[in-house]
Amino acid sequence: MIHISDLKANIGETPILKGLSLDIEPGTVHAIMGPNAAGKSTLSKVVAGHEDYDVKSGDITLNGESIMELSAEERAQKGIFMSFQYPVAIPGISTAYFVRTAVNAVRTANGEEEMDAVTFLKTARERMKWVGMDKALLNRPLNVGFSGGEKKRNEIFQLAMLEPQFAILDETDSGLDIDALRTVADGVNKMRDPKRSFLVITHYQRLLDYLKPDVVHVLVDGRIVYTGGFELVHTLEEHGYGWAEEQIKNGEPVCPPGAEA
Amino acid sequence: MSDWRATFVANQETFVGGAHALAWREDALAAFEDAGMPRPKAHAWKHTPLKALKTAFNAAPVAYSGTTPRIEGAVNIVLVGGVVDPSQSDALPEGVTVTSLQANLSMGAPALPTDAPATLNAPFDTLNKAFVNGGTVVTVAKNSTIEAPIVLVHVGGATGHAVHVQNHIRLERSAKATIVELWAMDGLANALTTTDTADNAELHHIVLQNNGPEALFLADHRHVLGRNARVFGTSVALGSLLARVGVHTRLNGEGAECDLSGVYLGHGSQHHDHTLRMEHKAPNCTSNQRFRGILGGKSRGVFSSLLVVTETGVKADGTQDNRNVLLSETARANSEPMLEIYTDDVKAAHGSAIGKLDDEALFYMRARGIDASTARRMLTGGIAREIIADIADEAIRTHAETLVEAWLLESVA
Amino acid sequence: MSQVQDLPIDQDYKYGFETDVEQDIMPPGLDEDVIRNISAKKGEPEWLTEYRLAAYAAWLEMTEPHWAHLKYTPIDYKAISYFAVPKRVVLDSLDDLDPEIKATFDKLGIPLDEQKMLAGVAVDAVFDSVSVATTFRAKLLEQGVIFMSISEAVHEYPEMVKKYLGSVIPVRDNFFAALNAAVFTDGTFVYIPPGTRCPMELSTYFRINARGTGQFERTLIIADKGSYVSYLEGCTAPMRDENQLHAACVELVALEDAVIKYSTVQNWYPGNKDGVGGIYNFVTKRGKCLGNRSKISWTQVETGSAVTWKYPSCLLIGDDSVGEFYSVAVTNNHQQADTGTKMIHLGKNTKSTIVSKGISAGKSTQSYRGLVQINPKATGARNHTQCDSLLIGDLCGAHTFPTVDVRNNDSQVEHEATTSSIGEDQLFYCRQRGLSEEDAVALIVNGFCKDVFRELPMEFAIEATKLLAVTLEGAVG
């Protein structure tokens, strides 16, 4: 579904991604873990089409078609969703109005009929329940005065409304208490589908315990340096990333503690 | 020949710096004469009548025999009529030097810090320069943290007489100090204070203005901040018949931060004016302003503050907040929080409110058995304490509280 | 061949065409003779000629104000023609109106045939110096509502005009008001009788057409006891590379329990992308809440003009009277606007509300300038001011200059203001959810202006939203 090959991207003159490759099949959940400043958030923004990042080389394809020349909104319309680490606030525009505008922008772009107000409201109420979001928030300006938890629930609610093919969750777990984390994870799990895939970016084990990713990648210094299964999450939680950085420095093959080389 | 020139000629004998200081003094006086007294309604003085300054004030020294206030737990440097009196002053801690400005005047006009912003009290800055007869140069050495606050205690002066004084404060790189100006003068006090806070230094600048009831006070404050420098300024204004504090701040280095706060308490026919200009010149600077007015009798309070973000002041974050309580039917408040913004990527907000004491709160307190005047004093005192709480040093904060308590007992019935 | 022609200037200003119509234009310049001449052409009574001459004498002693945050090439008052009227103006019947003028208003979306008009809106159409048509006059008069050009009112209701003209904006009020009082040529007169709710929206549409002229109109609206009127003005001008002066005066008087709602959609030609041409809009608008419990509400959407200098104000004289000011001002390219309001509280328990939203883009500059004054006798007065600026791009300026002056201790005044930008983060977020950049900007701007748009009559709110989008075209990216 999503295929990233040898992606190199800079911010200004500074290289951040240094040849990153990744394959994500339909219906799978991938996780990316890595130390601070490894390039995790850069990856999500480059996939979503943020213009602050200067892509030097490499390609990203969705269902075999390159998306590199597409604008952020065209990528969104094709079904790429990114849950923001820091969702923005828009005064004066209610959450309901914003989400409906987005849903219909995506539908129109795909030649589908717009969702009418009644259907929208019914669907929205139902999906807000999935993420434990107070329905009063529908009528409040988007993210204005929302708590950290409410903002993150709102992201997953929008994910549920937009029904993308591919969703990146960028540190969706940061700033959430354990209960909120569980409801957010439940919301994501409800959205799992053989045709939909996820890329979960996180520092922590907690969210992954609920999402049970199929594949786990270790991102260090702009490259995927090791890929394993769910068990890797526990190794990383216990040992951190120092071993990987050390092995790279020494020119050794990357191999987690306790794993076979 | 203007009154001021006649006075200048008459006072010449007493000027410090002798004959070769006369040239720059003359230039300053000529500049004053060129500018002339501000016309009524001149923009910078729109809310502050200058009738009391129409005639010239004799600037010759006058004898002083009063009791000098001191702040316990602080280093007091006493200036009588602008002149440092070593016999009344405390020893300085290591890392600070305070020299009398007198010594410098014979070598030339007092130097302002590089990049110091312009005066907001024009044309009285030129008058100050022409007549300047005292003040200090305070320097805090780099990397020194001075625990004890340094208090410049200004006493002396007399009705009909003027003292023109300058205090130049410099904190070198990564220094930290609290410098206080305590004012207890009579007559006209025309004071220039410059502060130059170098990279990563932190200055707490507190002005406790408790001049005599007939005094006239013109304070010209100019702050310049280097990279990551921090200035916390608090003005507590209680005394004087007419007091104008013009504070011009330039955030000149990236990441500089300046918080200015103040409380002005007016009774009788007092007039308190705080005119501010905060200039965000470097990126990523933060500024906050919080001023409170408590105005009774026929007093008037003016807060006029302009926040400027220049083209280079990107990622500025600035706030202005002014609240006034009018205690009598005849008190008056003017509030002008202004923004001038020349770049995007800024966050600025301001608010102002003018009203009376909260009736509900008063009733609540009375229903608990507190008499009405105590309740009023408590509420107004609470407003003042909101600002005084910003003073980090305990000795200074306590002194400010004592001054305010005394004012409340006298003024709030 | 149609003589309503589009001018070949590359601009998105769709009202920029010029009408080729035979006009009677006075030579440029201003002196007592010109004023006597204007007065004579209009067959005015002696008192009005004298009023004009007194205003002219006052104006000569005054100087153009320069305290506003505006920079513009000086206005040459000698180069302006103060009177330009189409030759074929017959007010008795629309059928006799020059078809070119009718076509002009058709093209502007203001059909003057009553049957074609928006239901419930009566229009006074002003073309350069003269009112060319006033619709639904007869129908309105059935209810006692007087709606006509001020030139006609001078003849038909001289006592009323004499009583109220200059009663809100004195001749010497300011430089531009004095000039207007000396040379005003036409405008609208409205009187709503006691207890009457005006059955339709009244509106005036101002069109500048002739070259080298200025427009100096005067509007006077009197709402008698317990009456209600909603009035709307719109304005456009051809695209030219000269700057033309528009110096209008609007006076409103609300008697006991009367309500006047005055809305403006100002879309004068703003000049081209490089700041060449455009209207200089120096306007004095003021309302007097004379009676107890009266209310005046100003709503303005300012998108046009090269330079705007405008402060619709309220004098709250009657006890319990209410003043409101809702404003959206958008500037792009090289436009400059210095606008705001004054709320002068004189009566007891008077209330005022100010909501101002300024949007600056391109190289434009915008200032909010406001005065809230609570006088000693205005006990129990209340004001709330909300004043927000939105910046798009890093070459524009947004300034806020409020003045609050409170002189009694039984009043409550609150002022809040914010300045922010349409951030890259906000735009990217919207685009990630599938919105185009333009839609995202429109969405954010509309959210920002919502508090003001909801004060406009429905159809004008839609028009204003569109106008905003046009003005901001190309502002991002």
Residue B6 has pLDDT above 90, yes or no: yes
CATH topology of domain A2-26+36-244: Rossmann fold (3.40.50)
DSSP string, A175-202: T--HHHHHHHHHHHHHT-BTTBEEEEEE
Q: Would you call A125 helix, strand, or coil by DSSP?
A: helix
Q: Which of B133, B16, B132, B136 is nearest to B75 (CA)?
A: B136
pLDDT digits (tens, 9 = 90+) for C284-328: 999 999 999 999 999 999 998 899 999 999 999 999 999 999 999
pLDDT at B262: 97
Chain C hits for A170, CB-CB cut-off 8 Å, are: none
CA A108 vs. chain centroid, Å, equals: 24
Q: What average pLDDT is seen over chain B?
A: 93
**Partner residue facing C433 (CB), from A76, A86, A91:** A76
Query: What's the predicted TM-score (pTM) here?
Result: 0.79
The reply to whether residue C435 touches residue A105, judged by beta carbons under 8 angstroms, is: yes
Do A175 and A147 meet the contact criterion of CB atoms below 8 Å apart? no
pLDDT digits (tens, 9 = 90+) for B120-173: 999 999 999 999 999 999 999 999 999 999 999 999 999 999 999 999 999 999
B334 touches chain C (CB under 8 A): yes
Query: Average pLDDT for residues B24-52, to the nearest whole number?
Result: 91
Helices assigned H by DSSP within A62-170: 72-77, 95-109, 117-130, 148-162
Residue A92 has pLDDT above 80, yes or no: no
Each residue's pLDDT expressed in tens, for chain C with a length of 477 residues = 334 444 334 456 777 778 777 778 888 999 999 999 999 988 999 999 999 999 999 999 999 999 888 999 899 999 998 988 877 655 556 666 777 777 777 777 777 776 565 556 778 888 777 777 778 888 899 999 999 999 999 999 999 999 999 999 999 999 999 999 999 988 899 999 999 999 988 988 888 777 788 889 999 999 999 999 999 988 777 777 788 899 999 999 999 999 999 999 888 888 888 888 889 999 999 999 999 999 999 999 999 889 999 999 999 999 999 999 999 999 999 999 999 999 999 999 999 999 999 999 989 999 999 999 999 999 999 999 999 999 888 888 899 999 999 999 889 999 888 888 887 788 899 999 999 988 888 888 888 898 888 888 777 788 788 888 777 877 765
pLDDT digits (tens, 9 = 90+) for C230-244: 999 887 777 777 888
Do B200 and B171 meet the contact criterion of CB atoms below 8 Å apart? no
Q: Report the residue of chain C nearest A92, measured CA to CA.
A: C447
**Going by beta carbons, is chain C in contact with chain A, meaning 3 or more pairs sit under 8 Å apart?**
yes
Do C432 and C425 meet the contact criterion of CB atoms below 8 Å apart? no
pLDDT at B202: 94
Q: Where are the domains of chain A?
A: 2-26+36-244
Spell out the residues 6+ positions from residue A95 whose beta carbon is closer than 8 angstroms to its own: A137, A138, A139, A140, A141, A142, A143, A154
Cα–Cα distance, C131 to C42 (Å, whole number) = 12
Residue B57 has pLDDT above 50, yes or no: yes
Cα–Cα distance, B160 to B15 (Å, whole number) = 18
C76 touches chain B (CB under 8 A): no
Query: Average pLDDT for residues B204-211, to the nearest whole number?
Result: 98
pLDDT at B94: 96
Chain A hits for C449, CB-CB cut-off 8 Å, are: 92
CB pairs under 8 A between B and C: 116
End-to-end Cα spacing for chain A: 30
Chain C hits for B312, CB-CB cut-off 8 Å, are: none
pLDDT at C7: 39
The DSSP call for residue B41 is T
pLDDT at C63: 92
The reply to whether residue C403 touches residue B354, judged by beta carbons under 8 angstroms, is: no
Q: Would you call B74 helix, strand, or coil by DSSP?
A: coil
Spell out the residues 6+ positions from residue C33 whose beta carbon is closer than 8 angstroms to its own: none
Cα–Cα distance, C10 to B13 (Å, whole number) = 73
Q: Would you call C208 helix, strand, or coil by DSSP?
A: coil
Do B326 and C404 meet the contact criterion of CB atoms below 8 Å apart? no
What are the strands, taking DSSP E only, across chain A?
2-11, 14-24, 29-33, 54-62, 65-66, 80-83, 90-94, 141-142, 166-170, 197-202, 215-220, 223-228
Which chains form contacts with chain B, at 3 or more CB pairs under 8 Å? C
C371 touches chain B (CB under 8 A): no
HSE-up of residue C97 (Cα within 13 Å, Cβ side): 25
Cis? peptide before B337, omega within 30° of 0 = no
Do A130 and A121 meet the contact criterion of CB atoms below 8 Å apart? no
Closest approach of C377 to chain B, Cα-based (Å):
9
pLDDT at C425: 80
Q: Would you call B410 helix, strand, or coil by DSSP?
A: helix
H/E element, B162 = strand B162-171
pLDDT at C441: 87
Number of residues that make up chain A? 261
The reply to whether residue B337 touches residue C417, judged by beta carbons under 8 angstroms, is: yes
A77 touches chain C (CB under 8 A): yes
Residue A102 has pLDDT above 80, yes or no: yes
Secondary structure in 3-state letters for B303-317: EEEEEEECCCCCCCE
Spell out the residues 6+ positions from residue A242 whose beta carbon is closer than 8 angstroms to its own: none
Cα–Cα distance, C312 to C324 (Å, whole number) = 10
Query: Average pLDDT for residues A94-118, to the nearest whole number?
Result: 90
Q: Which pLDDT band holds residue B306 (cuts at 50, 70, 90)?
A: very high
CB pairs under 8 A between A and C: 73
For A68-72, B169-173, B237-241, B306-310, which range has the lowest pLDDT when averaged over its residues? A68-72
Q: Which of B58, B50, B3 is nearest to B241 (CA)?
A: B50
Q: Which of C150, C174, C214 is nearest to C55 (CA)?
A: C174
With an 8 Å Cβ cutoff, the interface of chain C facing chain A consists of 423-426, 428-437, 439, 443-444, 446-451
User: Between C99 and B54, whose confidence is greater?
Assistant: B54
The reply to whether residue B352 touches residue C405, judged by beta carbons under 8 angstroms, is: no
Q: Which of B221, B213, B153, B220 is nearest to B187 (CA)?
A: B213
pLDDT at B222: 98
Chain C hits for B326, CB-CB cut-off 8 Å, are: 406, 408-409
The reply to whether residue C450 touches residue A76, judged by beta carbons under 8 angstroms, is: no
Do C426 and C440 meet the contact criterion of CB atoms below 8 Å apart? yes
pLDDT at C3: 41
Provide ipTM, 2 decimals.
0.80
pLDDT at C126: 81
The reply to whether residue A48 touches residue C450, judged by beta carbons under 8 angstroms, is: no
**Partner residue facing B338 (CB), from C401, C411, C412:** C401
Residue B88 has pLDDT above 80, yes or no: yes
Closest approach of C425 to chain B, Cα-based (Å):
11
